[in-house]
Amino acid sequence: MAFSFGGGFQVQRSPESVYEFLTDPQKFCPLMPDFQSMTMHDATHFTVRVNVGVSHIRGVADVKMELAAAERPRRAQYKGQGAVPGGNVSLTAGFELSPSDGGTQVTWKGDAQVFGRIISMAGGLLEPLARKNLQKLIDSLQAALNSGAAAPPAEARHA
């Protein structure tokens, strides 16, 4: 099962500042819905641990991520693979930055493929849940970038 998402937003920070934020997993990973932890392996590889739950399927996903492409301060792309309860996921996520009205236009795109029995168990719920969680992440990123904050809002943090 494959999903593709994309969109854009504008923030009042320079492309360089936005690029620095979006290429630092220690800054953006805590903004993810259901974030648990993040482990850096080197400058371009890290693992994100998140809680996952679709219908009666619950658990933890460890997603190994790589900053696969980076052009300072214009664009970057991440690629990842991980195990989720009942299956596996493969994903790409990227952004393009351009100066706009004293700030930066952020255009983003993401693709994910889910494999395994989770599709038959939760099929129709996967895309709406992915869309909802992705929108939460984008809203949190936009808020953090507009405020200049490096920490997630209280409601986005998880113990």
CA dist., res. 81 & res. 153, Å (int)? 27
Q: Tokens 């996967």 identify what position?
A: 126
CA 39 to chain centre: 15
Contact present, 24 and 118 (Cβ < 8 Å): no
Query: Residue 157: what pLDDT?
Result: 39
Query: Residue 97: what pLDDT?
Result: 98
Domains of the chain and any CATH numbers: 2-151 (3.30.530.20)
Query: Residue 129: what pLDDT?
Result: 82
Query: Residue 74: what pLDDT?
Result: 97
Query: Residue 150: what pLDDT?
Result: 41
Name the stretches of the chain with pLDDT < 50. Answer: 149-159
As to burial, measured by CB atoms within 10 angstroms (0-12 exposed, 13-18 middle, 19+ buried), residue 87 is buried
Query: Residue 19: what pLDDT?
Result: 97
Query: Residue 151: what pLDDT?
Result: 40
DSSP states of the chain as a string? -EEEEEEEEEESS-HHHHHHHHT-HHHHGGGSTTEEEEEE-SSSEEEEEEEEEETTEEEEEEEEEEEEEEETTTEEEEEEEEEETTEEEEEEEEEEEEEETTEEEEEEEEEEEEESTHHHHHHHHHHHHHHHHHHHHHHHHHHHHHHT-SSPPGGG---
